[in-house]
Amino acid sequence: MDNVAKISEVPNFGKKVVSISGREILLVNVKGTIYAFENECPHQGSPMSAAVVKDGYISCPRHGYRFSLTDGHCAEHPEFILATFSVQLNGDDILVDL
C-alpha cells in the first residue's frame, strides 16, 4: 500500500487529488470515511475532481453519470465502472492499494 496523503489534508466532504507513479488518484472524505478513485471518468475521461458527492454516489461533472462510492459501479450505465482502490488509515496517514 502506498502512503498517499494525510487525513488532515482531506477535509470532511472535501477532496484531494494526489499523483502516484504518474497516476492521478482522487481522495474523498465522507464523514471520516476516505474513498480513493481514479481521477478520470470511465465515460469520456472528465476529471472527477469536480464531481459532486451525495447519497453514496460520486457524480461526474460532465454528463452526470453516478458511480457508487463503494465499488464504482454505475447503475444507469453498467458498462462504465469508475476504478476504485482500497484504503486503509493508519493514524493520520491514508494508505491506498494501487
User: Where do contacts with ligand FES occur on this chain (CB under 6 A)?
Assistant: 41, 43-44, 46, 60, 62-63, 65
- Choice between 4 and 72, CB closer to ligand FES: 72
DSSP state of 73: B
- Minimum CB separation of residue 82 from ligand FES in Å reads 9
21, three cell numbers: 507513479
- Minimum CB separation of residue 25 from ligand FES in Å reads 17
- Choice between 5 and 74, CB closer to ligand FES: 74
- Residues with Cβ within 8 Å of 33's Cβ and at least 6 positions away in sequence, in order, are none
Q: How far apart are CA 11 and CA 31, in angstroms?
A: 9
- Choice between 4 and 59, CB closer to ligand FES: 59
Query: Residue-wise over 16-36: b if at least 16 C-beta within 10 A, else e?
Result: bebeeeeeebbbbbeeeebbb
- Minimum CB separation of residue 64 from ligand FES in Å reads 6
- Minimum CB separation of residue 71 from ligand FES in Å reads 17
